[in-house]
Amino acid sequence: MTHTFDPTSLREYDIRGIVGEALGPEDARAIGRGFATLLRRAGGTRVAVGRDGRLSSPMLEEALIDGLTASGCDVVRTGMGPTPQLYYAEATLEVDGGIQITGSHNPGNYNGFKMVFQHLPFFGEDIQKLGQMAADGDWEEAETRGAVTDYDIVDIYVGRLMAGYAGGSYRIGWDAGNGAAGPVIEKLVKMLPGEHHTLFTDVDGTFPNHHPDPTEEKNLADLKKLVAEKNLDFGLAFDGDGDRIGAIDGQGRVIWGDQLLSILAEPVLRIDPGATIIADVKASQALYDRIAELGGKPLMWKTGHSLIKTKMKETGAPLAGEMSGHIFFAQDYYGFDDAQYAAVRLIQAVHVIGKSMNEIKDAMPAMVNTPEMRFQVDESRKFAVIDEVLARLEADGAEVDRTDGARVNTPDGWWLLRASNTQDVLVARAEAKSQEALDRLLAQIDAQLAASGLARGPQAGH
């Protein structure tokens, strides 16, 4: 028996696609067969399986489990919940791997799979290998099917989120965006001191109120209204599967991913002075400067949650984060991206710093920057364009960081151009101290794109 995946669904960090077009039960079954085969060959026998609140998730879960058990793995079903709840199950239960069925922050008609293999991220070549194994029919056949058990982990997970909590008492708004984190948030706020107001904690895979992506400011409108009406201290928002966090202060100003990291770094570095803290190449220079000012070692690394987790293990970093709101704690935690845990640590950080969230935001350096700008480019050209840009910059003697694409430092500030690992787009960002300086940086990006036959057209923006 063999299976052919839609090639667009096998991505760098996960498997994802539109259900009924690029993804269906047969794909889920083949993923189960391949994953179980790899795990058994590595000496493993048990897999934790969780799912988000999308309408297609139960169907995909059933087919995935059928594939896992057919190839001889036992399955521990942890039920509906955020992706970090499944990561927690994989880290703490007697299992050898974990799979979460989730479409993350994509629209409701998408779904997919995020995987952990023997406590390590499963990505890149691992995912391509599943495709090759399916095409070859290279699957273990079990003499007896694996067993399936259910394990209700949500209360244990919420208890772990609160373990050792020593934060203050605040008035906070929470927006779960009808995503899978809703029930966890409801339980969490009952355990936290202070006053809490929640929005859209009922799980609804059609996302009737707003798209569950807190990194797009328009999706924070309901939270801003709640914080303003109730005069709250700050607000927190979560993506569709609870592995990315967004935040606003009491005035409704967005606290971006790199700014959250600069707040979270302060208590972390008090406990672990001189530690390495990792951020992705899209993060502000202000963050790297702040980490150094706090006595930490800032490390710029490639964008992508699997790449960051791998780098954390390598460097022993207690904290890492991305502009996209993935925050990873290894200090007193497991090193995976967990927006619910990041929320708890953020409340503690505000308490430790001893200022209001508004005051913390006020003290941040004023930078003028762009959101992420995306330009459609043919898949076959995207990495080639970056190579061309790097060659031209080198010839010009520019100051370039090549960690992930081209990040160029100039007296005006910095700009970045990189190829997305998950889409056929180039991603650009720029940051300066004034609008005039930012315009000069954008002109440099335009010139580089034009030199490679591309234009920064009206598709700029998120």
Structure tokens at 291: 């980490």
Q: Rounded to the nearest 5°, which phi and psi values hold at 294? A: -80, 0
Q: How far apart are CA 74 and CA 79, in angstroms?
A: 15
Residue 230: CB atoms within 10 Å:
14
Contact in structure between 368 and 438 (CB atoms under 8 Å): yes
Cα of 106 vs its chain's centroid, Å: 12
Is 104 annotated in the active site? yes
The label of the residue with tokens 């991505």 reads: 11
Distance between CA atoms of 316 and 330, rounded to whole angstroms?
8
| Greatest extent of the chain over all pairs of C-alpha atoms, in Å | 70
DSSP state, 296? -
Query: What tokens appear for 246 in the block?
Result: 């967004």
| DSSP category for residue 102 | -
**Catalytic choice (104, 262, 306, 420):** 104
Q: Which tokens hold the place of 225?
A: 């209204």
Beta bridge pairs of residue 235: 173, 248
Residue 194 gets the label, from left (phi > 0), alpha (psi -120 to 50) or beta, of left
191-215 in b/e burial notation, b at 16+ Cβ within 10 A? ebeeebbbbbbebbbebebbbbbbb
Report DSSP letters for 224-287, one per residue: HHHHHHHT-SEEEEE-TTSS-EEEEETT--EE-HHHHHHHHHHHHHHHSTT-EEEEETTS-HHH
β-sheet bridge partners, residue 47 = 75, 97
Give the span between the Cα atoms of 75 and 148, in whole angstroms: 5
- Whole-angstrom Cα distance, residue 207 to residue 311? 34
Q: What is the DSSP letter of 23?
A: B
> Alpha carbon of 286 to those of 259, 283, 335, 348: distances in Å?
9, 8, 24, 22
Q: Which tokens go with 386?
A: 């970056």
Residue 171, Cβ density class (10 Å: 0-12 exposed, 13-18 middle, ≥19 buried): middle
HSE-up of residue 235 (Cα within 13 Å, Cβ side): 31
**Which residue is associated with the tokens 């007296």?**
411
Q: Annotated catalytic sites, by residue? A: 104
